Amino acid sequence: MIIHHLNCISTCPIGGKLMDGQTRSLVKRGHLTCHCLLLEADHGLILVDTGLGLEDVRNPKSQLSGFFLAMVSPDFREEMTAVRQVESLGFNASDVHHIVLTHLDFDHAGGLNDFPHATVHMLQEERDYALKQRTWLDRQRFRPQQWPTEQHWRLYGIDEGEDWFGFFSISQLEGVPNNIRLVPLPGHTHGHCGVAIKLADKWLLQTGDAYFYHQEMDPQSPFCTPGLRFYQTLMEKDRQARLNNQQRLRELSRAQGNQIELFCAHDVVEFERLSGRSARVPVQHLRL
Ligand SMILES: [Zn+2]
């Protein structure tokens, strides 16, 4: 299976170096990715997360909340949307048959609009909670404007799981090869998941927003920048579960690091290592 790493629109949070650890200044904005995957499977394309989409680029003020627009100021370039990168690889949007979603936050679900025929797979718990819109922050992060394809969603209970390296996993995603599975990692949201993909020689685990900074997975001395620590605390729905899952992922990485490659959605260092290119360019530049 061929895998493409796509950064589907960077975000540029206030806090600079305090967020990403790399930007030279605290005054300048930082740089984070929306790390999605495009999988070329036998019977069609599968996307893991969708980043921000065309409608977010064209009408950010109606699609997204003013709070997050101010806080993370996405770098709205149409060529970085998932659909444009899919096209630049020579495919059509309709070739994407399935989307496996880590969670419904605006920076993961924004591209759902651009693949109206795809079946979307996620935990039932994620959909149920996101629809409730209980708090002010829920209404800023979960944007029903991004979900017109809701009739194509397939929802899974956590009890449908089976063991995967000591984690629950859901491998029977309707129509999806069973080498791709949802791995529930609640905390950031109630129905938050990682997505595990079996390759010839190892597993990839896209951990979504289970952690935000590559050094958080350091088994000896885990470290997160203060800005991203703050952001994760702001966004968490279940602190105990989030920290517990981070600890489990660190342990998984330590014990199974040669078999499983972990990465998260927003870390530029991980994105550039895995994609082999700058996070600021779309995928077709790889082929020039
Ligand atoms: Zn996110």
Residues of the chain predicted below pLDDT 70: 285-288
State in Å: Cα 288 to ligand 1 middle. Answer: 30
CB of 40 closer than 8 Å to CB of 5: no
Compute, in angstroms, the gap from residue 287 CA to the centroid of ligand 1: 28
In the chain, the domains with their CATH numbers are 2-287 (3.60.15.10)
Report how far residue 121's alpha carbon sits from residue 20's, in angstroms, rounded to the nearest whole number: 30
Residue 255 CA to ligand 1 centre (angstroms): 26
Distance from the alpha carbon of residue 11 to the mean position of ligand 1, in angstroms: 10
Question: How much distance in Å is there from the Cα of 227 to the middle of ligand 1?
Answer: 14
Confidence (pLDDT) at 23 = 84
Q: How many CA atoms lie within 13 A of 157 on its CB side?
A: 2
Count other C-beta atoms under 10 Å from residue 56's C-beta.
28
Distance (angstroms) between ligand 1 centre and the Cα of 109 equals 9
The pLDDT value recorded for residue 288 is: 46
Ligand 1 centre from 108 Cα, in Å?
6
**208 Cα: distance to centroid of ligand 1 (angstroms):** 7
Q: How far apart are CA 117 and CA 266, in angstroms?
A: 27
